[in-house]
Amino acid sequence: MSSVPHQRGKRCRRYCLEWIIPIENRNLEGALERTGQAVVLDGDVSDCANFSLWLRSLISKKYPLFFYDEGYSADIELHQDTTQEQIVELFAKELTQYS
């Protein structure tokens, strides 16, 4: 959900892997931080939620995963039973609150 930083027209070298996933008429951009501890996503919140839940399905539940925005004004721990709707609803409330 946060934007990927740029430096003089190039992405900073904070990331070891970057990708763009075309979805309908928009893109979901992502990057894996060099530490391997964070995935940064930039796109529609529902697309980010779907990607995050897919990632949760690949990573053992013994490792906690959190979905949060760049300002950490909202966050949710991702469990095996977390839904896209729960994530979108939480972030829609946050956007409405600050509008």
The per-residue pLDDT for range 28-61, each reduced to its tens digit, is 999 999 999 999 999 999 999 999 999 999 999 9
**Number of independent structural domains in the chain:** 1
Helix (H) or strand (E) holding 30: strand 26-33
Place of tokens 């990708």: 19
What integer pLDDT is reported at residue 72 of this predicted model?
85
Residue 81's domain comprises 6-97
Rg of the Cα trace of the chain? 14
**Is position 14 within any domain?**
yes
Q: Average pLDDT of 15-21?
A: 95
Phi and psi of 89, rounded to 5°?
-60, -45
**Is position 84 within any domain?**
yes
Alpha carbon distance 9, 5 (integer Å): 10
Q: How much is the mean pLDDT over the chain? A: 87
**Is position 1 within any domain?**
no
Alpha carbon distance 28, 31 (integer Å): 10
Alpha carbon distance 62, 16 (integer Å): 24
**Is position 70 within any domain?**
yes
